[in-house]
């Protein structure tokens, strides 16, 4: 009995030590340029032959859950009103890719995969607004050398053809605190 109790205590300490040694994948640090607050001025359109309109977009990004995930909180204001969303990013070391899950104030959800190479962040999604067919879209963010601004190109698919749905410029308005 005593030997079993000692073995159980040793096992519990080993499990606790292993849990403390777990660290986020180093690839997550590639997302570091996103951490902080962003203001994006966008020219958008609702269809390939539709007129353009202004869209104001803000994104606040921060590390959550001990740095294993990045949370992005979005707010967009346009002629259609205000849309808000929460998106959570992670790195999947098995698939060697970034993934996100998002939830919008219109009831829409999405799953996405992303890459971040040579200053370009490309994210592809299949979004599903409640009661509507899924929409395939992708956004490409090309960062400046100092990672304090980017240009945006958004595209959507319609009838098997990709068209440019938005273009814009983003500026980091508030950097992350140095302690993060």
- Which residue matches tokens 């909180």? 73
Percentage above 70 pLDDT, the chain: 81
pLDDT for the residue 3: 56
**What are the DSSP calls for 53-77, one per residue?**
EEEEEEEEEEEEGGGTEEEEEEEEE
Half-sphere CA count of 142, side-chain side, radius 13 A: 6
Q: Which CATH superfamily is domain 25-175 in?
A: Calycin beta-barrel core domain (2.40.128.20)
16 has a pLDDT exceeding 50: no
Domain ranges of the chain: 25-175
User: Minimal CA–CA distance to 22: which of 68, 70, 91, 69?
Assistant: 68
The rounded radius of gyration (Å) of the Cα atoms in the chain is: 20
- Contacts of 117 by beta carbon, 8 Å cutoff, 6+ apart: none
pLDDT tens string 91-129: 998 888 899 999 999 888 888 999 888 889 999 887 665
Contact 73, 89 (CB under 8 A): no
How far is C-alpha 141 from the chain's CA centre? 12
């Amino acid at each position: 009995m005593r030997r079993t109790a000692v073995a159980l205590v040793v096992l519990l300490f080993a499990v606790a030590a292993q849990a403390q040694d777990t660290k986020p994948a180093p690839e997550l640090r590639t997302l570091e340029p996103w951490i902080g607050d962003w203001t994006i001025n966008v020219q958008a359109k609702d269809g390939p032959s539709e007129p353009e309109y202004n869209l104001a977009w803000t994104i606040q990004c921060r590390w959550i859950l001990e740095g294993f995930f990045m949370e992005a909180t979005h707010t967009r204001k346009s002629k259609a009103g205000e849309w808000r969303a929460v998106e959570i990013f992670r790195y999947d070391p098995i698939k060697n890719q970034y993934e996100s899950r998002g939830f919008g104030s219109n009831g829409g959800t999405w799953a996405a995969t992303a890459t971040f190479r040579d200053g370009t962040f490309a994210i592809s999604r299949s979004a599903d607004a409640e009661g509507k067919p899924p929409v395939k879209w992708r956004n490409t963010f090309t960062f400046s050398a100092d990672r304090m601004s980017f240009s945006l190109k958004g595209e959507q698919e319609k009838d098997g053809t990709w068209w440019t749905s938005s273009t814009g410029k983003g500026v980091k308005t508030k950097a992350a605190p140095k302690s993060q």
